[in-house]
Structures are given as structure tokens and as C-alpha cells.
Chain A
Amino acid sequence: MNPGLRLLALRLARGRIRLIGRRMRTVRGAIGIGGTVLFLLAFAALQVWRATTPGMRGGTPSPETLRTFVPALVTVLTIIAAVSERGLYFSPAETGFLFPAPVGRRELLLYNLVTRLGIQVLSGLWVSVYTVLYAPLPAAGFAAVMLAFVFMYVAAQALALGAMAAESYLSPLVRRLVRAAVIAGVLLIVASAAMSAAPGTAGQRFRVILESPVVRAVSIVARPFGELFAATTAGAAIGWGIASMGLIALAALLVLSFDVAYTERSLAVGQRVQRRLSRMLSTSGDGEGAAAGPPPRFRLRAPRVALPGRAGPLAWRQMTELLRTPRALVSPLIFGAVWLVAMFGGIHASEGDAEAMQTSVLTTALLMPVIFGNPLPFDFRRDLDRMAFLRSLPLRPVAVAVGQIFPAAVFFALFELLVMCGAAALTGAVPAGWMVVAAALVLPVAWCTAALENLLFLWMPYRVGPDGRAGAQFLGKALLLMLMKVVTLGIVGFAGFAAWYGMRILGAPLSLALIAAALAMSIPCIPLTWWVGRTFARFDLTRAAAAP
């Protein structure tokens, strides 16, 4: 690697440690970082205790299941990573300093790969704490997870660069056709996998889907990671470990060998990432908007909504932005498709699989927001650099909160309903009663989810970048958010259930009980929204300055 780039990578690593040290000097930083570290250590200790205590470890999945599941998961995550960015990410500082510098294309690519490995290793460490219990040989499982995380990043870059290289040879029309063919192919794979699923428990159905020939064929490249995870002897682990490393090396060679002028695309990716992460109000240059792609032929426009406290225009702005950002829908749609197949694949209404159906519908309505989080954060999270503007508006803080939460909650509720409709189509029919129940539940649940996510964001508006900055804080924040969601949605769910049960005891018809449950679940949304508004009113604007 170029000596300057090597020095920069080392200095950046040292600088991050220095920054963490400085942040630890503040009370907030000490609590945030210290708490996260303590939590991770405690969790890791618990896992070690479970692994070493007889009777606590539980049963491990069969090696055959692991051989199927791990490659499929690695493949899906790699494709999502490649599709979501479609180019290498460089931070604005790297763009400014390194792109005009006398550094070779391959040297810069190598620097990108090396400097991003840190966050992959951290992610791998965290995931391995969860997963190592399921491996027949814990050391092999740990190695498999770590190597898989490195592979996912490198392979995603290889895919993205390969697509860029292919695009440079294709006319716009052919490119569109290829894109349509790829989307159709993915849909075909999902559909055929769903069709091949048989009735049974969710776990059984999921396994059948993963073992389908289509999924096996697609994920064959990632097979060494599955074999390494499932290895039962040291010899097999070493062999598949070497194969896994060879696969990573091959992907890295592919990245370095693609002769692509990636800087232009990286600029666009960097801007997109920066917009998404920090919503910088940067004055982009003349070509930047164009570099991100040609302007759309038509622009969608959200309907105006009337909300209390004149918050309607705020909600309208966020909804219109969302409608004009189709890329934001890619990840949710992929996740929705995976969720659909995992939860509903193999359920056939005609075969009277009612219990599995009810479980899946309720899981989708209540647990999806906890597991997934709001996939469409068109709320305060997009407006960190507009906080001063929002504060200057002649609106009460709670009205601003309503205007900001409304679009995220409504779109997430619609997203869940879309998944339900997909379920109805996939299974033959979801009973109408359960659809009504789900429809009544999703809005308050989605509102609570969005409100909680915004509340935490306003408390801790850390900027998180793929370069790993604020990675520790991000992890702590994610854990805290999960805890808050579980507790709050537990309370909301209990309120709904109590109202439902109470009405039934009083002899009320089902419809009335359902309305009461939905109302009861909506009541906690009011103080939660007020809390978000209060937190917004107290938000320290000096922390909203754009990150350098």
C-alpha cells in the first residue's frame, strides 16, 4: 500500500481511540461508552457461562441445517450490501484529500478495504457472541463468523464494482433491461422458494425453503463459511477455514482487478451516505446532483394532511421526500420479502393451518417493528442539520413531533399491511378477522416505534458512518433502543389485551372489543409524542452542526 495511505490508516485508528478517550471524559460519553462496554462484557460472560455449564447450552442445530443456513444468510446479506450502495464509500475527508492525490486506483481500493475491515471485525465479534453457541466447535464457529463478515464486505464491493464495470459497456436501454431481469430473477427465486415450502412449524418451513435447490444454487459460493461453522473436527475446520480465506482473497483480487473509474460513483455514494447519516445541508456542486443519476421523468407528490397544531406541512414535506426517494424502499422491500417467505411460506389456508397463520400474523404486527426497526426514517433523523429551522417555526414542540412522527409511522403501518397482503396472496387467504386485527394494531405499534426511535435519536444524535466512527455508541444505542421497544411495546400490548379481555368479559361483540383494544394501545402514544416534543424543545442546537 502507498506509504501515505498506510500512515493515514494508522493515524485514523489511533485518532479514533483518542476520540473515544476524549468522549469518555464527559459524563454523557462515560455513561454511553462505559455502559455499552459493561453490557457487552456481561453479555459475553453470560454466553461463556451458558457454553461451559452442563445443561445450559441447549441443543445445537444439525450440521446439515448449519451448512444450509449460514451460506444462504451470507449470500443474502452480501447482495443487500451490494445493492444498497452500488459503489465504494469514501468519507468526505477521504474524497477531498485522496481523490485528487497521486495515488493509484488499486492502492486506493486496497486502502478502502483495509480501513473498513475494523468495523466488520467488530460486527463479527458481536454476532459471534450470539452465534458461537450453535456451532459444534466454538472456535470454528467464531472463525466462520469473523471470516464471513470480512467476506461480506469485500464481496459486496466486488459485486458493486463488477456491476459498474458491466454498466460502462452497456447502453442505457440494455442497462434497464438487465436491471429488470435481475429484479424478476430475485422475485422468481423468492416465489419458487416459497412455493417449495411445505406445511409445518415456522422453523421447519424456513429450513425447507433454505434447502430448496434454488437457494442452494444461489448461495453455493458462500458454502465454505457454512462448512466451517458446521465443522465437527479440527481438520475439517482448518480445511474450510483455508477455503474461506481463499474466497476472501479471491473477492479482494476481483475488487482490485476491475478497471473501473469508481471515484465519480463513490462521490455520489458518499453524498448519499452522508445525507442519510447526517442530512448535511451541503451546497453540492454543479455536477453532483447529476452524478447521482438523471432527474426523474415525473415526481410523486404526497397528499396534504391535516394534523393538529398545524403540523400538516411538516408531515407533507417528509412524505413527499420519501415518495421521491425510491431507493429508500429497496432495503425494506427486500426485508419484507424475506420476512414474508420466512413467516408465511408453507402456510396454506386450504389446509387449515390456522394456528400457524395466527401466530405469523400477530408476530408480523407486533414483533416486526421490534426486530426490524423503522425502515423509513423520514423524521427527525433526516433533519439533524435542520433543527434550528424546525425550532424557528411557529409551532408548539409537540406539533413538530406529530408532524415528524406521522410520516414514519404511517409508512411503516402501510409497509406492514403490505406484508399482510403479501401473506394473504402467498397463503391463499388470511382470515379476514385476523387481517382486521392486524390492521387495527399496526398503526399504534408503528407510532410507538417511530416515537421511541426519534426520542432516542434526540437524546443521542450520534453520527454513525460506515467508516466506524461512533461505532461503539451505535451499538450501545441499538441495544438501548431494543430494550426500550420491548418494554414500551410490552406495555402497549398489555393495554390492548386488557381492553380486549375486559370488553369480552363484559359481553361486548368482537368488533367493539377490537376497537377498545386499538384505542387502549393508542393512549400511550400521546405521552410518548409529548415526550418527543419536549426532548426536541430541549435539544442542544450546538450538537446539530454538520459533521466535518
Chain B
Amino acid sequence: MTEPAAAPPVIEIAGLSKHYGDRVAVDGLTFSVPPGEIVGLVGPNGAGKTTTLRAIAGIHPPSSGTIRVAGFDVVRHPVEARRHLAMVPDEPALFASLTVWEHLEFTARIYGVRDWRGPAAALLDEMELGDRRQSLADELSRGMRQKVAVACALLHDPAALLFDEPLTGLDPRGIRTLYEAIRRRAAEGAAVLLSSHLLGQIETLCTGFAVMRQGRLLFAGTREEMRDRYAQVGGSLEEVFFHLTEGAAPPVMEAGAR
């Protein structure tokens, strides 16, 4: 995750901690995602990935630390921060009684997107849902619902895109479509943060990685940094993942990693 001087990070997390009573879900997380980067947030179950994504989206208030999206603090200025982000949850829950088109219609209204019909139609075509715009959510397969959720998320051209397990339920063609959509938005300047357990799948997509375990950040850096740093264990994401996450206690973030 390089940080060019001319491009301040879209997502900035500093010292983020989240506690539920005595239980620590996220512990002192610090990293950032600049525009144009696609960062894979990986970790075993219970690592704190979903909590982190939801904290960035302003759903889980942090116990301590700060989160900024497009320069706005998500706690102090939640509406402004959310205006610049979109989140696709792991389970694509749609409104059962609304059509695909109606989902895009109210999303456009909520985010204040004017002249939304053209971009919405283009998004549906991009997601291969052009012929399903009048279908009710109840009538769609899981993969199709996932694509509708993605289309809604992209409609307002967010600066920060958060995906929680976006590949679940998608067929190979759907995965390729989603990859292309994500790459296109990143190329246009969006910062993308996605969590996934499919390490082999996201390794080629992401430009950087953040590895978590038990709420703590073990590594954060670009793909090249990861390969250089962990060349001795093979350097692939899967090998680095097992190297970092196996063992009794999570190690502190290794020197040099951000």
C-alpha cells in the first residue's frame, strides 16, 4: 500500500480498537488504502475482518481510534463519510418485494444521484442483469442478488468500496465480471478494501494485503512488499497467510510492515 504524496489515502485507520465487553474484536489496527489500490483483508475466522469493515462503514462505533473516509471522520461526520463509500455485505440481503430497478432507484435517491437511469442501466448490463430489471428480489438466485447489491454500491461512484466476502455464491463468470468491475473502479481512482477467504482468487486481483488474526494486524503492505519480505516461505499469499496465522499467539506486526 504505497502512499504517493499527491494522493492522500481514501481510507485511513489509526489505532482502531473494538471491544465487546471483555472481548477484543479489533486491537489497535492502523493502515490506510490510497486511491487506486485494491487491498485484500485476510485472516482466519474471528480475525476481526467484518468488524473492521463495518467500523469503516460507521455501523460499529469504534471503542478507540479514528477512521477517516475521504478525509471525513466516520464518527464525527458519519453522513459525509458515508456519502463517499459503499459497502457490499457478505449476505446480499435485498428487499424481497422490490424489483431490481427499484433497488437502483431508491439507492440513487438516497445518495442523491441525478440522472441515474443511464448509469443504472449500464451497471445492470455490466453485471449481466440487463434483462432482469423488472424481476423481484425473491425471484433472483443468490449470485444475481449479489450482483444487484454490487450494482447498487457502484451507482454513486464511491471513493471507497468495501466488500465483505464478495466472491461467495458467484459462478466463475460472475467472479470475472466482479473482478473487472472492481479493477475498473480502482483504475478510476477508487480505494477498494475487500475481505475474503479465497486467497488464490484474490491474490491476482489485489494490489496490497492486510493480514489479521485475533483482531491484530500482522502484515500490511503491497503485493511486492509481501513477496520480498516473505520470500523464504514462498511469497505467495497462501503461504504468507499460513506462516503468519499459524501458531499459539498472534505475533506483533512485523518490522517494516505498515
Contacts and interface: CB of A to CB of B under 8 A. Distances in A.
Interface in B123-142: 136-138, 140
B45 A286 contact: yes
A92 B91 contact: yes
Contacts of B50: 285-288
Interface stretch (A15-23, A139-147, A414-422, A424-432): A15-23
A97 B152 contact: yes
B22 interface: yes
Contacts of A263: 58-60
Interface bin, chain A: 35 or more
Interface string A76-97: 0000000000000001110111
Contacts of A92: 91, 93
Contacts of B217: none
A200 interface: no
A104 interface: yes
A287 B20 contact: yes
Contact of A264 (B59, B82, B92, B162): B59
Contact of B110 (A101, A288, A290, A469): A101
A425 to B, nearest CB: 36
Contact of A291 (B20, B48, B49, B95): B20
B51 A285 contact: yes
Given A4-B110, A100-B59, A287 B96 contact: no
Interface residues of B, number: 58
A41 interface: no
Given A4-B106, A4-B111, A97-B107, A290 B93 contact: no
A99 interface: yes
Interface stretch (B8-16, B97-105, B184-192, B243-251): B97-105
Interface string A1-34: 0111101100110011011000000000000000
A92 B112 CA distance: 23
A100 B83 CA distance: 9
Given A12-B98, A97-B152, A102-B80, A286 B47 contact: yes
Contacts of A15: 95-99, 102, 136
A282 interface: yes
A98 B78 CA distance: 13
A253 interface: no
B54 A287 contact: yes
Interface in A384-414: none
B110 A96 contact: no
A433 interface: no
B98 A295 contact: no
A91 B108 CA distance: 20
B164 interface: yes
Contact of A100 (B87, B93, B97, B106): B87
B86 interface: yes
Contacts of B93: 91-93, 95-96, 548
Given A11-B98, A19-B96, A548-B94, A285 B109 contact: no
B20 to A, nearest CB: 4
Contacts of A303: none
B7 to A, nearest CB: 23
Nearest to B23: A290
Contact of B23 (A105, A283, A295): A295
B85 A285 contact: no
Contacts of B193: none
Nearest to B60: A264
B57 interface: yes
A100 B82 contact: yes
A172 interface: yes
A288 to B, nearest CB: 7
Interface in A49-103: 91-93, 95-103
A282 B49 contact: no
B239 interface: no
A267 interface: yes
B57 A99 contact: yes
A180 interface: no
Contact of A285 (B78, B94, B99, B164): B164
B59 A104 contact: no
A548 B110 contact: no
Contacts of B78: 105
A507 interface: no
B145 A548 contact: yes
A547 interface: yes
Contacts of A293: 20-21
Contacts of A98: 110
A95 B87 CA distance: 11
B79 interface: yes
A294 interface: yes
B46 interface: yes
B79 A103 contact: yes
B89 interface: yes
B68 interface: no
B194 interface: no
B167 interface: no
Interface string B144-172: 01000100100000000010100000000
Interface of B: 18, 20-23, 25-26, 45-51, 54, 57-61, 78-80, 82-83, 85-87, 89-99, 102-103, 105-112, 136-138, 140, 145, 149, 152, 162, 164
9 contacts: A12-B95, A96-B92, A100-B85, A102-B80, A102-B82, A263-B58, A264-B61, A287-B60, A290-B21
Given A7-B106, A282-B91, 15 more contacts: A11-B95, A18-B97, A19-B136, A92-B91, A92-B93, A93-B137, A96-B89, A97-B95, A102-B83, A103-B110, A263-B59, A286-B47, A286-B48, A288-B50, A290-B21
Closest 6 A/B residue pairs (Cβ): A285-B50, A15-B97, A4-B110, A287-B51, A92-B93, A4-B109
